[in-house]
Structures are given as structure tokens and as C-alpha cells.
Structure 1
Amino acid sequence: MKPIAAVCSCFLLAAATGFLVAQDKPKDESGKIRGLYQAAALKGGDVERGLAVFKSKKAACTRCHILSGAEKKAGPKLGTIGDKFTRDQLIRSVLEPSARIHPDHATTTVVTTAGKTINGVVQARDKKQLQLVDGEGKLVRIPADEIELEKPNKTSLMPSDVYKSITADQFADLVAYLGTLKQAIGKSRWVGMPDVMPMIKKPVRLERLHSQAMKFDHPVCVIANPMAAGEYFVVEQKTRRIYRLIKGAGDFTTDKKVLWVDLSNEASTGQFEGVLCLAFHPRYRKNRKYYVNYHVRNQGSHFSPIIAERKATADFQGDAGGKSRRLLQIPQATDLHWGGSLAFGPDGYLYIGAGDAGPQEDPDGNGQNLEVLTGSLLRIDINRSQGGKPYAIPPDNPFARTRKNAKNLRAAHLKNAREEIYAFGLRMPWRFSWDSKTGDLWVGDIGQNLFENIRIIRNGENHGWNVFEGFAAFSDRYRRKGETYIPPVLSYRRKDGVSVTAGYVYRAKKDSSYYGAFIFADFESKRIWAMTQKDRTLVKVRQIGTCPEKPCSFGIDENGELLVIGYEGTIFRLVLEGSVFE
């Protein structure tokens, strides 16, 4: 009988990147699988018996999983799986583990120079070796010079025939037990980690910006057209296309959706890769330049984020064509935690979010390693070139090689620090924005196992990952004596969501109760919140609504009102009138 190496290894961890993909109903409708599915869904199961199944050799869950702790295994930690997934999602994930595999726990296939094939989940990588955990839960170290081929594998380490090892009743019990694995909730000792984030009495409304027929394909970014009122640019991740959404007068019937540019000949695509963001040059009206953040796979088996420059036509009616001018490539060792955002700050410099690049829990310490671009917020001057690069370093970047800064760079860990870094200690800064009044830079930093974080970031700061996850200590491996770690303004738990989507501080109407509040959401729970702070200390946070689709990003229209992007294809207006933030 084929052993079940990891009954739960297929669980999708949205906390890793912000995208939880609901799995389809099992395609195999055989009587046994249908029986397992129905037994788990309808009978409910017994939690205590489920724990016994989880620990049993027959199910072998513990071969690839732990609930919590520092031990490394192939599958994700399951201590909060009941917060992250519905019962239906748990059932479907186990029955068809390879249907949709999150890259955080995707299988990698390595063929050695000796002809040996090894399948496993990447745990760590450096110049000397690659470390994988295989389906038996064993750590395999492969010298870098012995790797002939390395490629992603779309098949889960978990066999799809779980029904051959456990009965339908045992499966029902196992799912019942997994559903109880939730984050322990106690009285928080941190102001910024509230026990509850209560719903206001009258939630905000979300209204469509366009018709149902004009839905987009996995939109991830919306920006008002700086050259025309009532127009928006919408970025589609997977198709790698950017569209103009031209609003007509009156109802949706006069709206137009016009292709601006198709980047499929430059960018790669996949479950989480593609084109992610768009930013217009502050002098766009004069130079017609704009910038995109997209992925490529031409540097090996893993994708890398690219920051590229393009131009509009002279009449601003379309992209000028031709190849993009690449400014910066951020090398990655895995397909994880790539950041994804770019935007021009009030100072005119281009800011870029770069995730820690994986693997899970940042075993290589990229968040604290100043010699790499990952795990940081970057800032570059795209109006000048310097040192053979198509951009320059702002002189007040914390690690800029300037005469004024020389004394500050004498410490051993700073001598080779990348000058592009503005702030560091970040895990996955998916979206960020500035308060148009105060200039505060707000960042949504997607968490690891337990917490999602909202941060206000300043020049040169270390925001703690992976020494800290949120307010809580995480690992001492890369802790430096005397280092100052800046905590988040807000850290929320798995019961509230698993993948934070940062928005904007609302400044459109001064008489609104939301004026000065930062509005954000969670991709998986679909909840939308507003919060206020003073001196980076939380003052108030309330849930103000729920998005009909998974909110992956926010935007602002020409009047300063907020837009919400639903990943399933709809752009919404966030209507605050009639709602009171109290």
C-alpha cells in the first residue's frame, strides 16, 4: 500500500503571498472519493478520533507537518489551519492535492549530474548547496555543482489516493480535527494587536465602477489616468495586459475598455506571476514615461521581478511600442515573496517593494541581509544614471556611498550594503502608499504563520523580519546586538485574515468621519477596515465592510475617493457616505 506522506501538504498558505486560491471540486467522481467527500462534509466527524488519525502511521501527517515550532518539514505548519480554511476547502485540498498548489509549498524536481532525480520542497539555498525536504520528511542536501537540472513540479508530494490508506469515517474525523486548529486567543499585551476589530453599525457600500460584462482578468492595479478625467488604467496580472477603462456619461453602456499594451512577449505568467503594478512618472505630461513591475524567467528556473520603463505615444492614446527599458532586476532563489508594488513618492523617487524571496520563514535571513535587494523597500532615482546603472542612488538613502554617510557604514554588516535599500526587515510588502497630508509611508506587510502587519516606514529603519513576526519574537538566528527593530502599527491575527492588502489614508472630504483614517483589507477574509494612529501607535481600528470579491489592491480616483480591486475581475467604488467611523 502506498504510504500517505502528507495528508495535508497541499494546504494553500495565503499568508505567504496574499493569494489563496479556492480549489475546484475533485474531478475524480469515483464512488470511494465521493464517499470520502460526503462523509467529511455531512457527518462532521469526531475531533478526538481525528487527532488519533493525524498522529497515526497510516495517515502519516506528522511526517511532513508540525503544528508549530522551529522544526523544518515539507508541508506547512498546521497550527492555524482552521482559521485559514473553511471545512469545504480542507476536504477538497486533501482529495485533490495537486489541483492548485501554492508556490510556498510547491514541489521542486532536481536532476543531478549522476542522473538521480529528487523531488522535494525547497527549505534553503546558498551558493554551495540546495536543501530539500522530500516526501518522506527527510532533509536532502544537494551540492550546487551537482545540479544538472532544476524545475518546478506541478505534482504535490501528497498522493491523491488518500482513500486507500484511511476510511471515510477516519477522513471525516481528520477533517473535524484540522478544523479545530486555530490560533490561541488571549488578552493581547500590545496596543497594536487588538483582541477584536469590531464592525461599525452601518458598513460602507461598494459599487461597481463598470458593468458585469466588462470584468477584467485577475486585475491587480488600478490608477487614474493623469491625462484624462474619468479614465483609469487597469493592470491584468495573468494576461500581462494593461487596459484603459474610459468612463462614459450616465450608465455603464457608454463605458469603453481599450487595450493599452500587451506585455506577454516580455513578462512570464503563472498562478502568481505576471504584470503586477504600474506607476506614472511625476512629469508624465512632458516625458510620457511610465513604469511597470513584472516577472521574467530568463535567469533560471525561478522568476525574478523586473522594473522597466515604457513610453506613451505623443497623443497619450496608447503605448509607444517596442521593448521595455529594463532598469532593475531583483534575483530570487524561489518563486515566493516577490513584493509587487512600485510608486513614486512625494520626493520624486521611485519606491519598489521587494519581498524576502523565500523559502518559508526566510531561513537565509534575506530580511536582515543588507547585501541583497530582497526583504526591503527600495528607492532609486530614475532621472539620472550612475555607476553604469540606468538609475542613480538618492544621496540620502541610508546606505548611499557618500562622504557624509561614510562614518555610518563602518560596521561589518554595512560595508557591502546595497545602496538601493531605503528600509528593510520586511517579508512581503505587497502594497504601499503615502498619506497625502503628512507624507507617512504606509505598508501592508504579509505575515508568515500568525500575524498580518500594517507598518509606517521611515528612512533607514529595520522592521524586524525574521527576528520578529509582528510584535512577537520569531527567530534569533539573524538578531544583531544593539539593533533597533521597529514594530508594526497594527498586527492582526488569523481569525481576522491571512493576507493583508494595504490601501490609502482617506483625504478626499474633510467633513468625513473617515478623514485621516487608513483604509485596508484582507485578501482572503474579504474584510475591509479603517484605522487611525498617533506617533505610530494604534488609536482605533474598525471593520467597515466586506468586499464581494477578494480585495487584492486599492486605487484612488481623480477626486481622492477610494477604489477597491476584486481579484475575480471587478473594480469597486468605496462609498463612505452614510457610514460613520466611530
Structure 2
Amino acid sequence: MWILLLMGMLLAACGGGGGSPGETGVVPQPPATTGALTVTVSGLPAGVNAALRVTGPNNFTQDLNQTQTLSNLAPGSYSLSAAAVTSGATTYTPTPATQSAVVSAGATASATVNYGGASATLSLGVTRVAELESPTFLSAPPGDARLFVTERPGRVRIIQNGSVLSAPFLDISARVATAGEGGLLSLAFDPQYARNGYVYLYYTDAQRDIVVERFTASANPNLADATSGLVIIRVPHPGFTNHFGGQLAFGPDGFLYLAPGDGGGAGDPQRNGQNFTSLLGKLLRLDVANASASQPYAIPPDNPYIAMSSRRGEIWAAGLRNPWRFSFDGGQLYLADVGQDQREEVNIVGASQGGLNFGWNIMEGTLCYNASSCDRSGLTLPAFEYEHGSNNVNGCSITGGFVYRGRALPELAGHYFYSDFCGGWLKSFLPGAGGITQQRDWNLQGVRQVVSFGRDAEGELYLLSAAGGIYKIGRASTP
């Protein structure tokens, strides 16, 4: 009996007929929806950055300067373009210059760029294009071979097929006052210029106000309708005849940006740079898509101070002294601000970053201004600056330019060009995540007192001199 009972207990312990208790702790994972791309760069000396751009689905764009893995990418085909880079007197050419890679969900694709060979020394020179009266800015509508140049007295001239047309595109000299640093200072074409013919002018009037006015091209594409003027904004500028700023441009978001100076005088005596009830010493951002006489502009809803009664809603950024020139490159803003006595600066920030304070007159560049110490909290310091030096040996007034995106000099893609009114030189640098690299003085001869840069519809760059010369930057045959 005991033996039979023991055998029954053993059979029960073996789970006869009971089945497996099953596995525990395993949670099914959802399938991956994104992938990655590893870009490997080789062949460059230490300290020299590559110049790569990756584009792909959903308007993806990413600039790289070294080996990097891009994660969380949407599946699809990605294009990688590599530009030659210059360090010192040597240019390094990439292989391949363009390639594609397919990113799959849950996988990592790869692409390799080899900067294997150093090419001949790159040297730049200039070619005189035209001579005009006090040119201040040069631009062109998208896809247009003509060059439009503002003359300080109040005229817009056209250069077509290498010749200056006899009749101005537009003459508003009766509206413009040139006292001090004033005059017709720049222009900007509407992103839809081919459809609407709108062009915006930035000038100073007889009351020393800063005025932005829109005009419309006539049926003759080489003539604007002088009766079509619509004043977009008028910024009072009392007391001084300097620091009018002078630039306006459409950003990648389609809004109009303009940068009035701080109102003039040494050291911002009116304290406009840090006064958020004043439009002076600021970068302004306006919506002019539906401009009319009753409402010449609207304030974009994402402007940082739109809901603040104590701050002007038009303000996008503050703390500027005399931002004579700024420009956009993709999603980046390059803003050159003229310094007081010691430093010149270039601010490089994301174009979508509103509410920044660049520091004037608390700071001049990265220096405290007229103070032994200063509070830098909340301030955005420049990405690049240079000292005037003894007797302004290095320069005294920066002339900001553009990031090069033309086709004639592919090895300089992504390089930012700038000059100085006192220095008269042409210099460039390559910005990147690791800072400013590849600084170069191009040892330019024959151009002095550079007032402004210009850029044509092909992305090629020009220099404008106070003496009236307009020069195109290009490859020189000899160093």
C-alpha cells in the first residue's frame, strides 16, 4: 500500500498531463521605424574639417565636418555631397563628390568620403564688373541673370550682359537723405518676385527715419512702377546721423528681417540696444505677405515678444550696435555687428532662434564694455571676432558677407566671406560644430574700403567699394 501511494506521489510531481508552466518576462518589441547612416571621412590632416551635406526624405538636411553617425532617420534614399576644402594654401578634393545611401528601418547604412589628394594652391582675384555712384548693395531675383545695385543717393541700377542700363530700375532720390551714414542702403526681392514683382528698399529719409518701402515692377521688367510705393515700416532715428544699420532680407521662413542700428552716438548713449520698447538696436521680423495700406505688416505669431505689452512684438533679437550686413544660409543666420573701439564680431545662430540678446552695450564682442565686470547671463556671445589692434592694423568696421554656395569655386562651399572697411581685405572661415576653422586671408589686391558684398542668382559673390567699383570674386590664375 505504501509503495503504491509513493509511486502516485512521484507521478504527480512529474506533472503528468499538466503541461509546461510557460516562459515569463518576455515582452514583444514593436518593429523599428527608423534607421541610421554612418558617414566616414578619411584623408584629411588633423584639424582640417570636411564639408559634407546629407539630404533625404522629409526635407532632411544635415551638414557634417567629420565622421559621424546620424540616427533616427526616416527610411529612404539619402544623398551625400562633399565639397573640396582648403587649409592654408592646400585644397583637398573629395572622392566621390556625390553618392547615395539607402537607409532601412532597424539598420545602419554607411557611406565613405576620402579626401585623398591635395590639389594646386587656390588663389582668388576680382574682376571689375561696373562703376557706379556710391554703390551700397547688390542682389538679384532667383533665376535672373541681371544684377540690381542700390546707389546711396537713391537709385537702383541694373547691370545686364556686362553693361549698366542707362535708365535706373527705380529712382527714389527725392525721398532719400544721405546725411552721415544714411541713404539708400539695400534692397530685397520678394520670394514670389517672379509672380508679384515686389521689391523692398531700405533707406533713410529727410527726418533721419529708417524706412522700408515696397515697390512693384512694371510691365517693362527693367523698370519699376515709381507710383507703386507702399511704406512697410518707419523706424524713428532721432538725434544722430550714424548707426542706421542697413540690411533687409527674407529668411528661410518667408518673413522679412531688417536690422536698424542703435540710434547712433558713441557707446549707445540712448540705451536702445537693451531697451525693448525701442526698435533700434534690434533685428526685426515682419510678415509682409498680405501688406496693404491699412495694414502694411503683421507680426508673426511666433515672434518672441508678441504677447508682452512691455516689449515690441516686431523684435526678433536685441543687443545690436550697427548690424550693417547680415545674411542667411539654409537654417543659419550670419549677423556681422560693427564694434565700438576694440572688436568686430560675427554672430552665427539658428535662423529659428528668436529672443536672443547679442549683448550690446553690455558687451563689445566678448569684452565687457566700459566696465571691469559685467553679467553675461542670458546673452549670446559672438561665434567669431577680431581685435582692431594698434592703430586699427586689423581693421575698424566689419563688412559682413555671405556663405559661398556658388558653382565656380566648389572647394569653398560653406565658407563665410567677410571684409573690413578700413582693412580692405577679403577673408573667410569655415564654421562648424567644433568652432571656426580654416581662417584665410586671400591677399586680395586692388580693392579698398569695401562697403558691401553682393550675391547673384547663381550664388557668386561680389565686392562693392566706396569709390564706386563693383567686382566679382573668382579664381585667380596665379597665387
Deviation at 1:226, TM superposition (A): 4.1
Amino acid across the alignment from 1:540: Q
Q: How does 1:51-90 map to 2 (within 5 A)?
A: none
Q: Which residue of 2 aligns with 1:485?
A: 379
Q: What one-letter code is carried by the residue in structure 2 that aligns with 1:558? A: A
Question: How far did 1:199 drift?
Answer: 9.0
The structure number with the bigger radius of gyration is: 2
User: What residue is the counterpart of 1:311 in the other structure?
Assistant: 216
1:362 equivalent in alignment to 2:268:
yes
Give the alignment of 1:541-560 within 5 angstroms: 541-546=439-444, 548-560=447-459
Deviation at 1:267, TM superposition (A): 1.4
Residues 373-392 of structure 1 aligned to structure 2 (within 5 Å): 373-384=279-290, 389-392=295-298
Q: CA deviation at 1:493?
A: 1.3
Letter in 2 for 1:331: P
**Is 1:453 aligned to 2:345, yes or no?**
yes
Give, in whole Å, the separation in 2 of the partners of 1:347 and 1:235. Answer: 25
Does structure 2 retain, via aligned residues, the 8 Å contact 1:199–1:542? no
Alignment partners' CA distance in 2, 1:467 and 1:228:
43
Q: Which runs of structure 2 are paired with 1:259-278 in the superposition (5 Å)?
A: 259-278=168-187
Aligned length: 354
Shift of the 275–510 alpha-carbon distance from structure 1 to 2, 3 Å rule, reads: closer
Is the CA contact 1:564–1:573 (under 8 Å) kept in the aligned structure 2?
Answer: yes
1:421 pairs with one of 294, 315, 320:
315
Aligned match for 1:328, one of 226, 229, 233: 233
Structure 2 residue aligned with 1:217: 133
Looking at structure 1, the residues matched to 453 and 231 of structure 2 have their Cα atoms a distance apart, in angstroms, of 26
**Helix, strand or coil at the partner of 1:513:** helix
Any stretches of 5+ residues in structure 1 without a counterpart? 1-196, 249-253, 402-408, 410-414
Relative distance call for 1:268 and 1:477 in structure 2 (3 A) is farther
Q: Is 1:289 aligned to 2:203, yes or no? A: no
User: Cα gap change, 1:511/1:271 in structure 2, threshold over 3 Å: closer, same or farther?
Assistant: closer
Q: 2:262, 2:281 within 8 Å by CA — same for their partners in 1?
A: yes
Rounded to whole Å, the distance in 2 between the matches of 1:538 and 1:452 is 15
What whole-Å deviation, never above 9, does each CA across 1:328-385 have from its counterpart, x for those lacking one? 1111132121110001111110000111112210133211111100111111001236
Q: Distance in 1 between matches of 2:394 and 2:299?
A: 39
Q: For the Cα contact (< 8 Å) 1:386–1:393, is it kept in 2? A: no
Counterpart selection for 1:501 from 356, 377, 399? 399
Deviation at 1:545, TM superposition (A): 2.9
Higher strand share: 2
Which amino acid letter does the alignment assign opposite residue 549 of structure 1?
Answer: R
Contact 1:455 1:490 in 2 (8 A): yes
The 1-side partners of 2:426 and 2:137 are apart by 17
Partner of 2:127: 207
Cα pair distance change 1:202/1:241, threshold 3 Å: same
Displacement after TM superposition at 1:227 (Å): 6.4
Are the structure 2 counterparts of residues 308 and 343 from structure 1 closer, same or farther at C-alpha, using a change threshold of 3 Å?
Answer: same
* Change in 2 beyond 3 A, CA 1:558/1:394: same
Query: Deviation at 1:578?
Result: 5.8
Q: For 1:513-557, what per-residue CA distance to the aligned partner results, in whole angstroms no more than 9, with x for missing partners?
A: 311110111111101111112238322311113352321111122
1:533 is paired with a residue whose SS is: strand
State the distance in 2 between where 1:324 and 1:387 align.
10
Partner of 1:127: none
Structure 1 residue 387: Cα displacement:
12
Q: Is the 8 A contact 2:216 2:228 kept in 1?
A: no
Match of 2:158 in 1: 244
Deviates more, 1:523-532 or 1:323-332: 323-332
* Alpha-carbon distance between aligned partners in 1 of 2:449 and 2:412, rounded to the nearest angstrom: 22
After the TM superposition, which residues 173-188 of structure 1 pair with which residues of structure 2 at under 5 Å, given as runs?
none
Q: Does the 8 Å contact 1:452/1:470 carry over to 2? A: yes
1:444 is displaced (CA, Å) by 1.1
CA distance 1:209–1:350, change in 2 (3 Å): same
* Residue 150 of structure 2 corresponds to residue 235 of structure 1: yes
C-alpha distance in 1, partners of 2:275/2:370? 14
SS, match of residue 278 in structure 2: coil
Compute the displacement of 1:259 (Å). 1.2
Contact 2:282 2:318 in 1 (8 A): yes
In structure 2, runs of 5+ residues without a counterpart are 1-86, 91-120
After TM superposition, the score normalised by the length of structure 1 is: 0.57
Cα distance change of structure 1 residues 540 and 324 upon mapping to structure 2, 3 Å threshold: same
Secondary structure of 2:194 counterpart: helix
The structure with more helix, counted as a fraction of residues: 1
Amino acid at match of 1:224: A
Q: How far 1:483 sits from its partner (Å)?
A: 3.8
Deviations 1:109-162 (A, max 9, x none): xxxxxxxxxxxxxxxxxxxxxxxxxxxxxxxxxxxxxxxxxxxxxxxxxxxxxx
Query: Hey, what does 1:526 align to over in structure 2?
Result: 424
Q: TM-score, normalised by structure 2?
A: 0.69
Aligned-residue CA RMSD (Å): 2.7
Between 460-469 and 528-537, the greater mean CA deviation after superposition: 528-537
Distance 1:336 1:218 in 2: 17
1:354 maps to a residue whose letter is P
**Residue identity matched to 1:384:** N
